[in-house]
């Protein structure tokens, strides 16, 4: 039999077989090759499908239905991780460690005066925190802190489970790192057009990404430290150290187990669980934390039970109120002038001030004590501080009770030792020492005489104490002020005019010096508000602050030198580096405000004011050191002043009502202000600010002068018996050709006899003070404002003389 041909249709390998093969190729589509991009993009799916391909179809299909969504979820998770990683990148991780803390203010003795700016916290190290608190916060907030990488996924899983089962959010999903991220940055949702729940999820995912960045930047120890210093504890308190001091008045390193558990317990609701608001809730939270500490193995059960029985001793209510201070107000103002706002608000500075807290305290106490004494007087008809304090809260308005201010300055530095702007900064924020501008009255007269002495007048120069005639005083028109006692005298030494505070003499001295000269002197010695260029200003009919008066008076003990007043001595940053003043610089600035001789001469006269003038009561009040000063009492007893000094300190005191009105009958500066000054100075002397006597290093020259003109004496002065010899400060010696114009030499006959006309026309001799009896205090006469007239010359209304009964 012949062999079958390969193409035989009957053969198994023949034509029929080839036809069936061809049919299969037509019915089954050909597989396309998989591209490289698809492999890279979908390789998890390809691997997954390849792994399950050997399985039977009934297993392969359900596995794919579960596996493909899971792989797709993985894709979505990776995409979201990338998205939130990009969103987390801009956050500066350095900010985690930058925490605004309170700036601590110290006095010159190192005593803490208070804290300002920044946030209410103290930044400390983990090693400075009690170990019991570390265990308590970990048990309460994050028991797996040292094992997770920023997010506790076990806790997240538990939270999701609890949320699914109970329909509410579970506790414990947020780690310390996540809380730190939330407290360090303002993590805002970007999906603002979605529902609040979606926005919250968006914010939570961003918080997670930032937490991982924190974990990659800082060690666990550093993260814990930043968390403990940043966390909020209620009542504006931040950080464990400040919380410990606020609630328990102790450092964080001294916390007991019970106190540690309580603080850890109130973290989640510091305002709701605060022991200041609800001690029972705080104790409940403490006990919960103690139980957790036992279950997590941090402490034993018997320790927890003992801690639960421990009584809670928190800061008493009367010590919870932060008391404001006029000194701190002044320090804030000066700090703002020195540093930029950013440095101030960040806080964390250490400021050493010039304030002496012992003098500050005495000034506050002395002022309030004196004014309480006045308020207790029979017939006192103003609001008292006690009456204001007794008012219900809803009835209290701005206090209207008697007020005062005190400023004490160290002469040779300008350092402010005390600044009191009222009786209580909690009751009135208005700082009268800095902001209160009141009529200064007679306390300005020394500067008028200072200008006069710089213009050639001498303390022994004769000045008329008689009535002022119309047109005599430049720019005064018909104004003619009276003396406080309503009396007039003859020609008296200029020094007597200041000692006795004679208005007519003071105006004449100012007139001889010139209004421009007096205004220049006022500006040079530290009065910030330009003196009005009116003759009434010679009598202090303009306003200044206590701070300005005190600073201006320092030129007298300093022989003309003025140090600009300063409250801040040194500023250090949180690392202890000096940031102000710059290296080599001094915070104290000095300059020669006025000539030495005239300042020394006025100082000598002011010394007499305190021994036999209006301030002679100083010794009877208990201060017997060398000093100088001047009282001042404005019209109708509206303002009472005393400004005075020793060789070490200058102090100014003002007393009055905020709305100017009569304080009390005979409310003189010597009655109201001087006693406060004495108490401040007695304290300063005891503290080592010694009053060693008002001395001078000036050079003196002996010369022959005329008593009426203050110029070099001529033969005419000798003949008129007006010449005298004096030791004059070198800078006050008249020039050789600066001869007396009142007694020309040619008026003297050759034989030396004095013509009758010369003696008859000679001004009367000086009327020296005939006894050493004290001169009682004076009240300033009313000084109306100038009224311009058509001719352009200011005409000042006639002053009303003060009755003799008020002229003390």
Contacts of residue 116, Cβ cutoff 8 Å, sequence gap at least 6:
102, 103, 105, 328, 331, 332, 335, 347
Same domain for 83 and 155: no
Q: Given pLDDT bands bounded at 50, 70 and 90, which one contains residue 79?
A: low
H or E, element range at 464: strand 462-464
Report yes or no on 303 lying in a domain.
Answer: yes
411 touches 557 (CB < 8 A): yes
Q: Given pLDDT bands bounded at 50, 70 and 90, which one contains residue 20?
A: very low
Same domain for 310 and 165: yes
Please tell me the predicted confidence (pLDDT) of residue 163.
57
Please tell me the predicted confidence (pLDDT) of residue 691.
77
Average pLDDT, the chain: 83
Contacts of residue 79, Cβ cutoff 8 Å, sequence gap at least 6:
none
Please tell me the predicted confidence (pLDDT) of residue 54.
80
* Helix-helix angle 445-454:515-524, to 10 degrees: 110
Please tell me the predicted confidence (pLDDT) of residue 806.
34
Each residue of 85-120: pLDDT tens digit? 777 788 888 888 888 788 899 999 999 998 887 777
Please tell me the predicted confidence (pLDDT) of residue 509.
97
* Structure tokens belonging to residue 537: 């200003």
* Dihedral sign for Cα atoms in the order 542, 543, 548, 551: positive
Query: Would you say residue 801 has pLDDT above 50?
Result: no
Same domain for 156 and 57: no
Report yes or no on 793 lying in a domain.
Answer: no
Please tell me the predicted confidence (pLDDT) of residue 749.
38
Same domain for 166 and 304: yes
* Structure tokens belonging to residue 32: 């396309």
The region of weakest confidence among 199-203, 432-436, 574-578 is 199-203
Same domain for 77 and 155: no
Q: What pTM did the predictor assign?
A: 0.74
Return the bridge partners of 237, or none.
120
Report yes or no on 784 lying in a domain.
Answer: no
Each residue of 278-300: pLDDT tens digit? 999 999 999 999 999 999 999 99
Task: Give the mean model confidence (pLDDT) for residues 426-439.
Answer: 95
Report yes or no on 727 lying in a domain.
Answer: yes
The region of weakest confidence among 174-178, 360-364, 674-678 is 174-178
Each residue of 583-607: pLDDT tens digit? 877 888 899 999 999 999 999 999 9
The region of weakest confidence among 87-91, 438-442, 620-624, 674-678 is 87-91
Task: Give the mean model confidence (pLDDT) for residues 246-256.
Answer: 94
Last residue of a domain, one of 265, 294, 319: 319
Closest CA to 215 of 173, 256, 181: 181
The region of weakest confidence among 370-384, 462-476, 729-743 is 729-743
Same domain for 86 and 125: no
Please tell me the predicted confidence (pLDDT) of residue 16.
43
Last residue of a domain, one of 277, 304, 319: 319
Report yes or no on 177 lying in a domain.
Answer: yes
Q: Given pLDDT bands bounded at 50, 70 and 90, which one contains residue 700?
A: confident
* Dihedral sign for Cα atoms in the order 155, 161, 164, 165: negative
Same domain for 286 and 156: yes
* Structure tokens belonging to residue 25: 């190729």
Task: Give the mean model confidence (pLDDT) for residues 432-438.
Answer: 96
Query: Measured between alpha carbons, how far is residue 583 from residues 465, 563, 578, 580 in Å?
Result: 55, 20, 8, 8
Q: Given pLDDT bands bounded at 50, 70 and 90, which one contains residue 412?
A: very high
Same domain for 176 and 280: yes
N-term to C-term CA, the chain: 167
Please tell me the predicted confidence (pLDDT) of residue 164.
54
The region of weakest confidence among 179-188, 355-364, 515-524, 740-749 is 740-749
Please tell me the predicted confidence (pLDDT) of residue 722.
84
Of 342 and 570, the structure prediction assigns the larger pLDDT to 570
The CATH number for 139's domain is 1.10.3810.10
Report yes or no on 109 lying in a domain.
Answer: no
Same domain for 761 and 713: yes
Please tell me the predicted confidence (pLDDT) of residue 387.
95
* Structure tokens belonging to residue 778: 């004076």
Same domain for 219 and 139: yes
Task: Give the mean model confidence (pLDDT) for residues 138-149.
Answer: 91
Report yes or no on 807 lying in a domain.
Answer: no
* Structure tokens belonging to residue 291: 């139980």
* Helix-helix angle 176-184:131-141, to 10 degrees: 90
Same domain for 176 and 314: yes
How many domains would you assign to the chain?
3
Task: Give the mean model confidence (pLDDT) for residues 565-579.
Answer: 91
Each residue of 730-763: pLDDT tens digit? 888 888 888 888 887 754 433 334 343 333 333 3
Last residue of a domain, one of 273, 295, 319: 319
CB atoms within 10 A of CB 31: 6
Same domain for 266 and 140: yes
Please tell me the predicted confidence (pLDDT) of residue 716.
85
421 touches 432 (CB < 8 A): yes
Please tell me the predicted confidence (pLDDT) of residue 746.
58
Give percent above pLDDT 70 in the chain. Answer: 80
Report yes or no on 71 lying in a domain.
Answer: yes
Q: Given pLDDT bands bounded at 50, 70 and 90, which one contains residue 695?
A: low
Write out the residue range of the structural domain in which residue 51 sits: 43-90
Each residue of 488-529: pLDDT tens digit? 989 999 999 999 999 999 999 999 999 999 999 999 999 998
């Amino acid at each position: 039999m012949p062999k079958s041909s390969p193409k035989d249709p009957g053969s198994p390998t023949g034509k029929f077989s080839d036809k069936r093969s061809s049919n299969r190729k037509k019915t089954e589509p050909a597989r396309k090759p998989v591209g490289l991009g698809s492999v890279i993009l979908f390789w998890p799916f390809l691997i997954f499908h390849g792994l399950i391909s050997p399985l039977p179809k009934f297993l392969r299909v359900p596995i794919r239905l579960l596996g493909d969504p899971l792989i797709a979820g993985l894709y979505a998770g990776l995409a979201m991780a990338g998205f939130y990683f990009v969103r987390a990148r801009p956050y500066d991780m350095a900010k985690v460690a930058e925490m605004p803390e309170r700036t601590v203010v110290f006095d010159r003795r190192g005593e803490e005066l208070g804290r300002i700016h920044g946030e209410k916290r103290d930044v400390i190290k983990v090693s400075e925190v009690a170990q019991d608190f570390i265990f308590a916060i970990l048990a309460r907030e994050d028991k797996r802190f040292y094992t997770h990488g920023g997010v506790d996924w076990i806790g997240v899983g538990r939270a999701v489970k609890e949320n699914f089962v109970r329909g509410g959010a579970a506790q414990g999903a947020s780690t310390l790192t996540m809380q730190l991220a939330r407290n360090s940055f303002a993590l805002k949702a970007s999906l603002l057009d979605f529902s609040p729940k979606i926005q919250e999820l968006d914010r939570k995912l961003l918080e997670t990404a930032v937490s991982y960045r924190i974990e990659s930047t800082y060690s666990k120890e550093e993260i814990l430290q930043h968390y403990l210093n940043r966390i909020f504890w209620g009542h504006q308190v931040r950080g464990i150290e400040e919380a410990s001091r606020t609630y328990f008045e102790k450092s964080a390193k001294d916390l007991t187990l019970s106190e540690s558990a309580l603080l850890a317990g109130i973290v989640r609701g510091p305002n709701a669980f605060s022991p200041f608001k609800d001690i029972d809730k705080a104790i409940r939270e403490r006990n919960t934390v103690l139980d957790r500490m036992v279950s997590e193995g941090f402490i034993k059960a018997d320790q927890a039970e003992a801690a639960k029985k421990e009584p809670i001793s928190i800061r008493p209510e009367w010590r919870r109120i932060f008391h404001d201070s006029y000194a701190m107000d002044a320090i804030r103002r000066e700090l703002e002038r020195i540093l930029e706002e950013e440095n101030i608000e960040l806080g964390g500075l250490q400021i050493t001030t010039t304030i002496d807290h012992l003098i500050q305290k005495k000034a506050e106490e002395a002022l309030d004590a004196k004014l309480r004494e006045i308020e207790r007087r029979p017939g006192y008809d103003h609001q008292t501080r006690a009456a204001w304090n007794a008012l219900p809260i809803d009835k209290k308005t701005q206090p209207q009770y008697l007020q005062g201010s005190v400023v004490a300055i160290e002469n040779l530095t300008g350092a402010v030792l005390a600044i009191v702007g009222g009786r209580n900064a909690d009751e009135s924020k208005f700082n009268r020492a800095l902001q209160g501008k009141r009529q200064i009255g007679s306390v300005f007269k020394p500067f008028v005489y200072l200008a006069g002495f710089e213009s050639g007048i001498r303390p022994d120069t004769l000045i008329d104490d008689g009535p002022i005639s119309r047109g005599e005083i430049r720019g005064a028109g018909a104004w003619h002020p009276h003396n406080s006692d309503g009396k007039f005298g003859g020609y008296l030494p200029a020094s007597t005019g200041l000692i006795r505070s004679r208005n007519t003499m003071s105006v004449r001295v100012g007139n001889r010096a010139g209004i421009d000269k007096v205004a220049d002197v006022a500006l040079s010695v530290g009065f910030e508000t330009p003196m009005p260029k009116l003759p009434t200003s010679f009598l202090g009919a303009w306003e200044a602050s206590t701070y300005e008066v005190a600073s201006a008076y320092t030129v007298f003990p300093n022989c003309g030198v003025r140090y600009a007043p300063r409250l801040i001595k040194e500023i250090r940053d949180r690392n202890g580096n000096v940031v102000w003043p710059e290296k080599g610089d001094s915070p104290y600035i000095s300059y020669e405000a006025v000539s030495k001789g005239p300042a020394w001469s006025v100082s000598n006269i002011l010394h007499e004011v305190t021994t036999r003038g209006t301030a002679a009561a100083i010794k009877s009040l208990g201060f017997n050191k060398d000093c100088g000063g001047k009282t001042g009492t404005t019209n109708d007893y509206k303002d009472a002043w005393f400004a005075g000094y020793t060789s070490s300190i200058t102090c100014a005191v003002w007393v009055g009502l905020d709305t100017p009105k009569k304080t009390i009958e005979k409310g003189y500066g010597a009655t109201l202000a001087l006693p406060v000054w004495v108490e401040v100075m007695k304290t300063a002397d005891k503290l080592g600010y010694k009053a060693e006597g008002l001395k001078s290093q000036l050079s003196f020259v002996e010369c022959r002068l005329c008593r009426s003109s203050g110029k070099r004496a001529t033969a005419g002065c000798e003949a008129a018996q007006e010449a005298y010899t004096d030791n004059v400060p070198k800078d006050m010696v008249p020039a050789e050709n600066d001869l007396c114009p009142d007694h020309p030499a040619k008026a003297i006959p050759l034989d030396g006899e004095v013509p009758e006309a010369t003696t008859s026309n000679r001004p009367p001799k000086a009327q020296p003070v005939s006894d050493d009896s004290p001169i009682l205090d004076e009240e300033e006469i009313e000084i109306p404002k100038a009224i311009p007239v058509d001719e352009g010359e200011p005409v000042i209304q006639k002053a009303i003389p003060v009755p003799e009964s008020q002229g003390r």
